[in-house]
Amino acid sequence: MTLFGELIAFIVFVLFCMKFVWPPLNNAIEARQQKISDGLAAGERAEKDLQLAQAKIADELKEAKAQAAEIIAQAKKRAEDSVEEGKKRGEQERENIIAAGQAEVQAERNRLREELRKQVAMLAIAGAEKIIEREIDKNAHSDIVEKLVAEL
């Protein structure tokens, strides 16, 4: 009889275990295994992403540095150019100013010479008038005087 009792108990225990004990435990274990493997895969992926990002950063940094160097070089060149240009322009200006001055001086000299000539002519005429006053009619000889003045 003990045999049958134990047999029934055995069957009941196994059925209980099969229905209520094994599935939840096994499910939990399998679900956790899945989760862990997912987590590991995600970690690996993240690491790969990180490496990619770092490579990208390095690339961009290099590019930025190159760009900066280029900009600096350009700026330097432009500064040099503008200094050169300024110098050139200054020189031009100086030449212009000098030329203008010279022209002015020339014009003044011409004017003065003209004036001087006129005055000399006047003086000559006055002298001549005084000399010739008595002998010559002023009106009769004015054309000769004028010709003289023009020749001076």
Nearer to other proteins, 11 or 79 (CB): 11
Size of interface with other proteins, in residues (CB under 8 A): 28
- Number of Cβ atoms within 10 Å of the Cβ of 2: 6
| Shortest Cβ 45–other proteins spacing (Å) | 21
Query: Which of these segments, 4-12, 39-47, 64-72, 102-110, binds other proteins (CB under 8 A)?
Result: 4-12
Q: Rounded CA gap, 27 and 102, in Å?
A: 109
Does 37 participate in binding other proteins (rule CB under 8 A)? no
Could you tell me if 141 and 110 are in contact, meaning their C-beta atoms sit under 8 angstroms apart? no
Residue list 6-35, contact with other proteins (CB under 8 A): 6-7, 9-11, 13-14, 16-18, 20-29, 31-32, 35
DSSP for 59-114?
HHHHHHHHHHHHHHHHHHHHHHHHHHHHHHHHHHHHHHHHHHHHHHHHHHHHHHHH
Binding interface with other proteins (CB under 8 A):
1-7, 9-11, 13-14, 16-18, 20-29, 31-32, 35
